């Protein structure tokens, strides 16, 4: 057992201040392994150029692989949803009478309403809307209402508003597309594109539909391997976007 050392303090110090220290053996020197500190020393170029951030690159790769899997799953889900909606559309038979057409729209999913408005726009005429308004008038002024009648009134009011707003938006879109086609024809056949664009701005004939039309033509040109045409229309799109933004 190692000897005990007694440390004596002045007599004025309390007895509890006397401390005993246990003598311990000296610690052995640590062994250090040889390490290369200068990683840039490679005069023969054996290791190639230094590349930092190895851990960060691995982490980025893992995230990319994870995102790729998520992206594939999302794209697969989108394709399945499109196929489901296509199947539902094909399975639905468009009715012949106005009354049946009202029920047809009442049974239409909200996300499919825009498609059905575009497909059946000619049927959404004055006769159709008058039929809904006539039934609504009867429901509103009924002497005694049942819960079913109140529910029917709410459904028809919501449908009427949705179809009126939807047809108005569709008609405006079609008008904008006609204007866009005419504007694009003027631009493509113009000898002075800048002057033509200014004239179209003054006539308020530059709109977002023109950008959409240009995007479609650019995509078609790339698919047809018409690189010069695609690049030219891309420049036109940039100019049109500038004037629309301003």
Interval 188-212 mean pLDDT: 87
pLDDT at 214 over 60: yes
Residue 203 maps to a domain: no
pLDDT at 69 over 80: no
Sign, CA torsion 74/77/81/86: positive
Residue 79 maps to a domain: yes
Residue 81 maps to a domain: yes
pLDDT tens readout for residues 73-103: 767 887 888 888 888 888 888 899 999 999 9
- Confidence category of residue 201, pLDDT binned at 50, 70, 90: confident
Residue 75 maps to a domain: yes
Residue 70 maps to a domain: yes
Interval 186-197 mean pLDDT: 88
Domain range for 72: 62-91
Q: Which has more confidence, 244 or 28?
A: 244
Rg (CA), the chain: 39
Q: Which has more confidence, 68 or 157?
A: 157
pLDDT tens readout for residues 112-133: 899 999 999 999 999 999 999 9
Distance between CA atoms of residues 84 and 97, nearest Å? 27
pLDDT at 203 over 90: no
Residue 68 maps to a domain: yes
Q: What is the largest CA-CA distance in the chain?
A: 117
Q: How many domains does the chain have?
A: 1
Residue 76 maps to a domain: yes
pLDDT tens readout for residues 128-151: 999 999 999 999 999 898 999 999
Interval 48-69 mean pLDDT: 63
């Amino acid at each position: 057992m190692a000897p005990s050392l007694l440390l004596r303090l002045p007599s004025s110090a309390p007895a509890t201040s006397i401390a005993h220290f246990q003598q311990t053996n000296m610690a052995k020197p640590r062994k250090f392994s040889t390490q290369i500190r200068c990683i840039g020393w490679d005069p023969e170029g054996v290791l190639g150029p230094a590349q930092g951030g190895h851990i960060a690159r691995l982490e980025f790769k893992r995230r990319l692989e994870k995102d790729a899997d998520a992206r594939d799953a999302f794209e697969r889900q989108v394709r399945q949803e499109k196929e489901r909606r296509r199947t539902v559309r094909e399975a639905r038979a468009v009715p012949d009478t106005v009354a049946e057409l009202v029920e047809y729209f009442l049974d239409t999913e909200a996300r499919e309403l825009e498609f059905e408005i575009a497909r059946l726009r000619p049927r959404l005429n004055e006769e159709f809307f008058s039929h809904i308004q006539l039934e609504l008038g009867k429901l509103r002024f009924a002497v005694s209402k049942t819960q079913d009648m109140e529910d029917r009134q709410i459904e028809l009011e919501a449908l009427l508003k949705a179809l009126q707003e939807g047809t108005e938006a569709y008609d405006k879109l079609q008008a904008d597309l006609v204007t866009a086609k005419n504007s694009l024809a003027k631009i493509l056949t113009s000898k002075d594109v800048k002057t033509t664009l200014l004239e179209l701005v003054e006539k308020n004939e530059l709109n977002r539909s023109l950008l959409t039309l240009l995007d479609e033509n650019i995509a078609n040109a790339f698919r047809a391997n018409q690189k010069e045409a695609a690049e030219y229309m891309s420049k036109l799109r940039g100019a049109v976007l500038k004037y629309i933004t301003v």
